[in-house]
Amino acid sequence: MKKIFLLPVLLFIMGGVPAFSQTYKTADSVAFNKEYARVSSNIADLTTRLTKAQNDLGEYSSKSDKASSDAESTATATADKASHATNGSVRDARRAKKEARRSVKDAKDSRKAGNAVDNQNKKIRQLTRDLAKNQNRLKELDRMRAGFSGQQ
């Protein structure tokens, strides 16, 4: 029984989809011009945001490299302090412990900087996808506009 009822409903829905899809009859249509302006504005905005994100990527990369080298040098210094602490006094042990904390902090900073670079790359990929979508839509609208001028 469900199959019999489901089939007419699906046919009705599939038949109604083209009727509700947006089509423009002329290039002078207000809705067409609004969409064209909106898409053009989106492209300009996405281009600006993409350029800014790409410029910021260099800064994030340099911070990541610096944090990574800091973490590496701190880890080396910690290892040296620890070797002195095993043969040294209580003061050397305290210094080694303090250096170890600094090393852990630098390692976390390095990880955060690496994550920031990854996030920036994701942002750039997303902006690039959105920009490509909007550019394709603008090309479709241009083809529609050319078709309108060919009809008249």
Q: How confident is the model at residue 8 (pLDDT cuts 50, 70, 90)?
A: low
Question: pLDDT tens digits, residue range 72-83?
Answer: 888 888 887 777
Question: pLDDT tens digits, residue range 50-61?
Answer: 999 999 998 988
Domain range for 127: 33-142
Residue 22 lies in a domain: no
- Counting the structural domains of the chain, the total is 1
Residue 102 lies in a domain: yes
Euclidean distance between CA atoms 87 and 85, whole angstroms: 5
The mean predicted confidence, pLDDT, of the chain is 82
Residue 136 lies in a domain: yes
Residue 14 lies in a domain: no
Cα atoms in the 13 Å half-sphere on the side-chain side of 51: 6
Residue 74 lies in a domain: yes
Residue 52 lies in a domain: yes
Residue 65 lies in a domain: yes
Residue 8 lies in a domain: no
User: What is residue 139's predicted lDDT score, i.e. its pLDDT?
Assistant: 94
41 and 93 Cβ atoms separated by less than 8 Å:
no
